[in-house]
Amino acid sequence: MSTYKSDFLHTLASRGFIHQVSEPEALDTLARSSAITGYIGFDCTAASLHVGSLLPIMMLYWMQETGHRPIALMGGGTTRVGDPSGKDESRQLLTDAAITANLGGFRAVFAKFLKFADAGGNAVMANNADWLNTLNYIDFLRDIGRHFSVNRMLAFDSVKLRLDRQQELSFLEFNYMVLQAYDFVELYRRYGCILQMGGSDQWGNIISGIDLGRRLDNAQLFALTAPLITTSSGAKMGKTAAGAVWLNADLVSPYDYWQYWRNTEDADVGRFLKLFTVLPLGEIERLAALKGAEINEAKKILATEATALVHGRAAAEQAAATARTTFEEGTVSKGLPTVRVPRQTLEGGITVADAAILAGFCNSKGEVRRAIANNSIAVNDSRVTSFELTLDEKDLTTEGVIKLSFGRKRHVLLKPAYEE
RNA sequence: GGGGGAGUGUCCCGAGCGGCAAAGGGGGCGGACUGUAAAUCCGCUGGCUGACGCCUUCGUAGGUUCGAGUCCUACCUCCCCCA
């Protein structure tokens, strides 16, 4: 399956994580004979990590799992600059306060995948703000800047793309790759880190770091990139009707997260099981081979396993149970997302339109109107045909809730709120 | 510096003789069919209104006109050619 002899590279390769590796033989040999240290950098542009970050996180997970030391590098410093790779326009700059706040949300997520010192493991969480924020400009130019050829930098895709399209590329962004390269060297010096991993769009930036390490410290550093993951039908990972699929439970509930994976396309099941669960490959092979409706079993396992990694086994099982009662038994499950409606409002009667907006299904009454015309909205599993329909306490089921549905997959329980 | 062209429905691309809430795609959402899949077909894809209708939208600001995405002026941004 793979020609790698080290546990680390063999695992990554056979699970589909590897796109490109610099000097694969040398790295393989090294990883076989000793514990190596490697890192991946993460942006702090959002308040939570999302499904797109999952792939790199899993690489760090396997790194630790196969006996090495992973470093999750928070881009507290580089996020202040903004990576131009793969973007047409410069990203909006975030305030330092926002970056710090975002960082806070990350640690808990990483702790679910990696064992840091407080959990008795060797994983490291670093923040490049620690060394970037205090850099002295002139010193930095003389020590680091001299090793960078502008001629070469102009040839990098991330830069060239912008220039070719006559898109603005500020000097600030132009420096991003220099800083990222410097990060690599800094981590090498601090932790003996010799490997940087990342998405395939990071290749150029990583190579810059390798070059810098060789020039400054005569170090042999390595690059490993992962393929860009899309669904079989070509869509980018991690988007749903409601937006990005975040890893924080307060942004995307375990139930919704489970649903996201449950709705994986047939053709992706095997690949995703390998990438996003830690099930043994033999088991995955068996699941991916299921045909027709049977592959739904594999999807449920994918959903439960993937959810368990992020939200814990109990939450995953609960999401699975909720899905089972909702979709397979067709009954009202208490595990569905609930929306509280003040009791007075309910007594006075609330229109379906307002309820649908409250539930987050629609943004305007016009949308609700169209949705009803399209047969999309149901109350307690019966189709709503009239825009005039008003809901009140008589519509409460024996469980004391009103089940409001949008389409066949999105359900919400309206629950009278007695407090406040 | 001179000449020519372009900016359209706040997701993207893109048509648009002065009557336009504005063609057509893509994407998205929903329905049918299925297996909570894919493919396919159908519907929807500015806001308010029960409805007549009203309001807001075509780079920005003015102007002409009963009426402007469309014509005129200035400005901004981008592309191409000449220098």
Spatial separation of the C-alpha atoms in residues A180 and A193, rounded to whole Å: 14
Residues A349-376 pLDDT 10s: 889 999 999 998 998 999 999 999 888 9
Q: How far is CA A233 from CA A236, A266, A276, in A?
A: 9, 11, 19
Q: What is the mean pLDDT of chain A?
A: 87
The residue that leads in pLDDT, A238 or A406, is A406
Q: Give yes or no for CB of A363 within 7 Å of strand B.
A: yes
Query: Residue A26, CB, less than 7 Å from strand B?
Result: no
CA nearest neighbour of A387 among A403, A401, A376: A376
pLDDT number for residue A420? 45
Q: What is the pLDDT of residues A209-221, one digit of tens each?
A: 999 999 999 999 9
Model confidence at A234, pLDDT cuts 50, 70, 90, reads low
Please give the structure tokens belonging to residue A262.
């449950």
Nucleotide closest to A369 measured between CA and C1': B44
Phi-psi region of A411 (alpha: psi -120 to 50; beta: other; left: phi over 0): beta
Distance CA A356, CA A65 (A): 46
Distance A378 CA to B44 C1' (A): 17
List the A145 CA – B81 C1' distance (angstroms).
39
Mean of pLDDT values over A240-260: 83
Distance between the alpha carbon (CA) of A406 and the C1' atom of B26, Å: 25
- Most confidently predicted of A39-48, A185-194, A285-294: A185-194
Q: A266: which 2 tokens?
A: 């047939």
Helices A269-276 + A295-311 axis angle, to 10: 20
What is the reported pLDDT for A161? 65
Q: What is the pLDDT of residue A175?
A: 85
For residue A89, is pLDDT > 50? no
Contact between the CB of A241 and strand B at under 7 Å: yes
Please state whether strand B lies within 7 Å of residue A367 at its CB atom: yes
**Which pLDDT belongs to residue A202?**
87
Number of C-beta neighbours around residue A344 at 10 A? 10
Measuring alpha carbon to C1', the residue closest to nucleotide B39 is A233
Average pLDDT over residues A170-187: 88
Chain B positions with any atom < 7 A from a protein CB: 27-32, 34-39, 43-50, 78-80
Collapsing DSSP to helix, strand or coil, A360 comes out as coil
A321 touches strand B (CB under 7 A): no
Please state, in angstroms and rounded to a whole number, the distance separating the CA atoms of residues A157 and A164. 10
- Checking if the pLDDT of A401 tops 70, the result is yes
Indicate yes or no: strand B within 7 A of the C-beta of A327.
Answer: yes
Q: Is the CB of A165 under 7 A from strand B?
A: yes
A294 nearest nucleotide via C1' and CA: B35
Beta strands in A219-270 (DSSP E): 222-226, 239-240, 243-244
CA A224 to C1' B10, in angstroms, rounded, equals 39
Residue range A39-67: mean pLDDT, rounded: 89
pLDDT of amino acid A242: 60
Query: Can you give the distance from the CA of residue A372 to the C1' of nucleotide B25 in angstroms?
Result: 26
pLDDT at A168 over 70: no
Q: Which residue has the higher pLDDT, A176 or A282?
A: A282
As for the ipTM of the complex, it is 0.82
What band does A53 get if pLDDT is binned at 50, 70 and 90?
Answer: confident
Helices (H) and strands (E) in chain A, counts: 19, 15
Residue A88 is predicted with a pLDDT of: 46
Which residue minimizes Cα–C1' distance to B46? A366
**Can you read off the two tokens belonging to residue A103?**
């960082």
CA of A289 to C1' of B62 (A): 68
CA/C1' separation A410–B20 (Å)? 37
The answer to whether A297 CB is within 7 Å of strand B is no
Establish whether the CB of A382 is closer than 7 Å to any nucleic acid atom in strand B. no
A250 has pLDDT over 80: yes
Instruction: Give yes or no for a contact between A20 and A28, defined as CB atoms under 8 angstroms apart.
Output: no
Q: Output the DSSP codes for A168-189.
A: ---HHHHTHHHHHHHHHHHHHH
Q: Which one has a higher pLDDT value, A161 or A176?
A: A176
Return the axis-axis angle of helices A51-65 and A96-113, rounded to nearest 10°: 50
Which range is least confidently modeled, A13-17, A193-197, A392-396? Answer: A392-396
Give the pLDDT confidence of A277-318 residue by residue, as tens digits.
999 999 999 999 998 889 999 999 999 999 999 999 999 999
